[in-house]
């Protein structure tokens, strides 16, 4: 079997490590940028009533027309722009790669950044070019990016706005310079749009190569796996050709349509997360020997004292708290941990445990 695997599986796939999702049962889960709030019981009951009408013996609407209409209304998507639905943002990233992939074609993104830009590009046979962010504040190193664009001529450029895992929002003027210099598509990934007031969605159409990608996961619907892409209709029409039929299941379509019609509840929750993010950031700054980076997302990146990140991550897990250990993920993330903003009591438990561990030297 091993000989057949070596013969048939591409070498770059054999060399990969699968994306790892840690077991979180029984732990305070602050590792995956999820909204920690649940729906009120009355709203949950109305949702279950909506699900009772679903005919699960039938295929879903292939275009998700009711869901598209709900998204356009809830997110103020311009009527003259195209809209494409995906099984999470990951599938949209995959569709984009499949649409443009050819031998020699390249993807460019900023690092540290979302690992799936690189991984999915590799799946499609594209080469990934990572341009490091500025070392002091994770801002865009514009000369380095423009030089890489000129040298590599990437077909796809991803700009996360705000960025994961650093949490900062890039300078909009720098992003415009990149859009105008790009020979191919620029995808502004606004996965964390509920936690910032800035967006490129209203600028779609100003440049023919600009697309905006979003997800409903961070606003409180992570279990539905729904992402969407907005851009000029001509581009959306081409990308739609590689979308698998019925890619968004009927339960997701009905549930997301229902949720978007009650978006005020989700907006209240994301506002509470923003407020709690400020409290968490202030609490982290009171812990000596660590550095918390400003964030416009629903998580905060923390740099621990030299050589202590792994021990503190393990210590937190022993105390029943799961966060994300980024030490070793990228050279600029040395000694870094990332914590999702949770419920007030979850954040308090995290701060108490982290304070104790830091005081004890990890």
Worst-scoring range by mean pLDDT, 25-29, 91-95, 149-153, 298-302? 25-29
The confidence band for 309, taking pLDDT boundaries of 50, 70 and 90, is: very high
Closest to 171 in 3D by CA, of 207, 200, 213: 200
Question: Is residue 340, in this structure, part of any structural domain at all?
Answer: yes
The average pLDDT across 58-64 equals 96
The average pLDDT across 169-194 equals 98
Q: Which of 212, 246, 261 is the last residue of a domain?
A: 261
Worst-scoring range by mean pLDDT, 17-21, 73-77, 337-341? 17-21
The average pLDDT across 167-182 equals 98
Q: Is the pLDDT at 315 greater than 70, yes or no?
A: yes
For the CA atoms of 76, 78, 83, 89, the dihedral, rounded to the nearest 10 degrees, stands at -50
Stated as kind and residue range, the H or E segment containing 277 is: helix 263-285
67-86 residue pLDDT tens: 999 999 999 999 999 999 99
The average pLDDT across 332-345 equals 98
- Distance between the two ends of the chain, CA-based, in angstroms? 45
| pLDDT score of 10 | 85
| pLDDT score of 133 | 98
Radius of gyration of the chain (CA): 21
pLDDT over 90 percentage in the chain:
91
Question: Is residue 144, in this structure, part of any structural domain at all?
Answer: yes
Worst-scoring range by mean pLDDT, 11-25, 151-165, 345-359? 11-25
Q: 25: burial class by Cβ within 10 Å (0-12, 13-18, 19+)?
A: exposed
226/163 same-domain check: yes
257/271 same-domain check: no
Query: Model-level pTM?
Result: 0.95
228/293 same-domain check: no
| pLDDT score of 362 | 58
Torsion region of 324: left, alpha or beta (phi above 0 gives left; psi -120 to 50 gives alpha): beta
Look at the chain and report how many structural domains it folds into.
Answer: 2
Question: Is residue 50, in this structure, part of any structural domain at all?
Answer: no
Q: Which of 239, 261, 283 is the last residue of a domain?
A: 261
Q: What is the CATH number of the domain that holds 323?
A: 3.90.1150.10
Q: Which of 261, 295, 324 is the last residue of a domain?
A: 261
255/281 same-domain check: no
DSSP SS3 for 94: helix
Do the beta carbons of residue 121 and residue 150 sit within 8 Å? Answer: no
Q: Which domain holds residue 303?
A: 2-40+264-359
235-254 residue pLDDT tens: 999 999 999 999 999 999 99
């Amino acid at each position: 079997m091993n000989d057949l695997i070596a013969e048939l599986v591409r070498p770059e796939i054999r060399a990969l490590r699968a994306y790892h999702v840690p077991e979180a049962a029984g732990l305070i889960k602050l590792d995956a940028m999820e909204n920690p709030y649940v729906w009120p019981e009355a709203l949950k009951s109305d949702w279950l009533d909506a699900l009772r009408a679903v005919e699960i013996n039938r295929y879903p609407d292939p275009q998700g027309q009711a869901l598209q209409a709900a998204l356009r209304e809830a997110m103020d998507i311009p009527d003259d722009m195209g809209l494409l639905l995906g099984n999470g943002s990951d599938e949209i990233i995959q569709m984009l790669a499949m649409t443009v992939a050819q031998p020699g074609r390249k993807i460019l993104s900023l690092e540290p950044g979302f690992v799936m830009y690189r991984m999915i590009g590799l799946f499609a046979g594209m080469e990934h070019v990572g341009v490091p962010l500025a070392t002091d504040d994770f801002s865009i190193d514009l000369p380095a990016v423009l030089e890489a664009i000129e040298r590599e001529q990437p077909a796809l450029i991803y700009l996360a706005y705000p960025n994961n895992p650093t949490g900062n929002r890039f300078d909009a003027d720098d992003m415009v310079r990149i859009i105008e210099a790009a020979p191919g598509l620029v995808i502004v990934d606004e996965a964390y749009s509920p936690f910032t007031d800035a967006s490129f969605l209203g600028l779609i159409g100003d440049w023919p190569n600009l697309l905006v990608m979003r997800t409903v996961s961070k606003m409180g619907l992570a279990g539905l796996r729904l992402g969407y892409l907005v851009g000029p209709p001509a581009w959306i029409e081409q990308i739609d050709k590689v979308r698998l039929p019925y890619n968004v299941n009927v339960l997701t379509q009905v549930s997301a349509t229902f949720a978007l019609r009650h978006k005020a509840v989700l907006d209240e929750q994301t506002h509470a997360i923003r407020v709690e993010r400020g409290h968490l950031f202030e609490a982290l700054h009171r812990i000596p020997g660590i550095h918390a980076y400003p964030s416009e997302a629903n998580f905060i990146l923390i740099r621990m004292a030299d050589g202590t990140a792994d021990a503190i991550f393990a210590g937190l897990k022993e105390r029943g708290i799961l966060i994300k250990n980024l030490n070793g993920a990228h050279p600029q993330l040395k000694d870094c941990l990332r914590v999702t903003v949770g419920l007030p009591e979850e954040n308090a438990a995290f701060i108490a445990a982290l304070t104790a561990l830091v005081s004890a030297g990890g």
